[in-house]
Structure 1
Amino acid sequence: MLRPRALRESRRAVQAWAELGVIMFLFWFCDRSGAVREAKKSYDRDLLFAVFALLGTYGWKTTLKESKTHAPLHREQTEEMKGWMQVLFLLYHYFDAGEMYNLIRVFIAAYVWMTGFGNFSFYYVKKDFSAVRFAQMMWRLNFFVFVTCAVMKNDYMLYYICPMHTLFTLLVYGALAIAREKNSEPKWIYGKFIACFAIVAAVWEIPGAFKRIFTPFTFLFRYVNPAKPDVHPLHEWQFRSGLDRYVWIYGMACAYFHPKYELTMKWIDERSTTRERMMYQGGVVALASGALYWWWVTFFTLDKVEYNKYHPYTSWIPITAFFVLRNSTKKLRENHIELFCICGKVTLETYIAQFHIWLSTSQMPNAQPKMLMSLVPGYPLLNLMVCSYIYIGISHRIFDVTNVLKSACIPSKADNATLANNAIFGGIVVATALGLGTFTSLIFTGKT
Structure 2
Amino acid sequence: MEALTAGQVACLAGYLTALFLWACAEALNLRVKHRKKTEADTFEDGGKGKLLPAAKGAVIELTASSHGALLPTDVRPPSTAWTASAFYRCLMLDSDALLACREALRAAVEFGTILAWFYVADRTNFIAAGTKSYSRDVFVFLFAALTVVAGGYTLKQHRTLLLHRTQTEEWKGWMQVLFLLYHYFNAKEIYNAIRVFIAAYVWMTGFGNFSYYYRTGDFGIGRFCQMMWRLNFLVLFCCLALNNSYMLYYICPMHTLFTVMVYAALAIGSRYNKSDLAIWLKIGACFLTVFVFWDIKPIFYALWSPFMSMMGYSDPRRPAHDKLYEWYFRSSLDRYIWIYGMVCAMLHPKIERFLKAVDSMGTKLRCATRAVLVAVFVGIGLTWYQYVYLLPKAEYNRVHPYTSWIPITVFFMLRNLTPPLRTFSMGLYGWLGCITLETYIGQFHTWLLSKRPDGQPIYLLTLLPGYPLLNCAVVSALYVIVSHRLFHTTNLLKDALVPHDNNWLLLRNCLMMGMVAAMASCFGTLALQAWQLWGVSLQ
TM range (shorter): over 0.9
Of 4, 8, 24 in structure 1, the residue corresponding to residue 115 of structure 2 is: 24
Aligned counterparts, 1:7-406, within 5 A: 7-67=98-158, 69-272=159-362, 274-362=363-451, 364-406=452-494
Q: What is the Cα deviation at residue 436 of structure 1?
A: 2.8
Q: Aligned with 2:297: secondary structure?
A: coil
Aligned counterparts, 1:1-12, within 5 A: 1-12=92-103
Cα shift readout 1:257-283 (whole Å, capped 9, x = no counterpart): 1000000000000012x2111111111
Cα shift readout 1:113-172 (whole Å, capped 9, x = no counterpart): 000000000000010001101111100100111011110000000000000000000000
- CA distance in 1 between counterparts of 2:517 and 2:475 reads 32
Pick the structure with greater CA Rg.
2
- CA distance in 2 between counterparts of 1:440 and 1:229 reads 31
Q: Aligned with 1:43: secondary structure?
A: coil
Q: How many residues align?
A: 444
Q: Aligned with 1:232: secondary structure?
A: coil
Cα shift readout 1:202-221 (whole Å, capped 9, x = no counterpart): 11111311100111111211
Q: What is the Cα deviation at residue 186 of structure 1?
A: 1.0
Q: Aligned with 1:208: secondary structure?
A: helix
Q: Confirm or deny that 1:427 pairs with 2:517.
A: no
- CA distance in 2 between counterparts of 1:78 and 1:407 reads 24
Cα shift readout 1:83-115 (whole Å, capped 9, x = no counterpart): 000000000000000111000000000000000
- CA distance in 2 between counterparts of 1:356 and 1:77 reads 29
- The gaps in structure 1 that reach 5 residues or longer are none
Cα shift readout 1:295-343 (whole Å, capped 9, x = no counterpart): 0000100111110000000000000000011011111111000000000
Q: What is the Cα deviation at residue 438 of structure 1?
A: 3.7
- The gaps in structure 2 that reach 5 residues or longer are 1-91
Classify 1:122/1:237 alpha carbon distance in 2 versus 1 (closer, same or farther; 3 Å).
Answer: same
Q: Aligned with 1:336: secondary structure?
A: strand
Q: What is the Cα deviation at residue 441 of structure 1?
A: 4.4
Where in structure 1 do 4 or more consecutive aligned residues deviate above 6 Å? 444-448
Q: Aligned with 1:38: secondary structure?
A: strand
- CA distance in 2 between counterparts of 1:35 and 1:435 reads 30
Q: What is the Cα deviation at residue 20 of structure 1?
A: 1.0
> Which amino acid is the alignment partner of residue 388 of structure 2?
F
- CA distance in 1 between counterparts of 2:515 and 2:337 reads 38
> Which amino acid is the alignment partner of residue 308 of structure 2?
T
TM-score (norm 2): 0.81
Classify 1:435/1:192 alpha carbon distance in 2 versus 1 (closer, same or farther; 3 Å).
Answer: same
Deviates more, 1:117-126 or 1:200-209: 200-209
- CA distance in 2 between counterparts of 1:55 and 1:440 reads 49
Q: Counterpart of 1:415?
A: 502
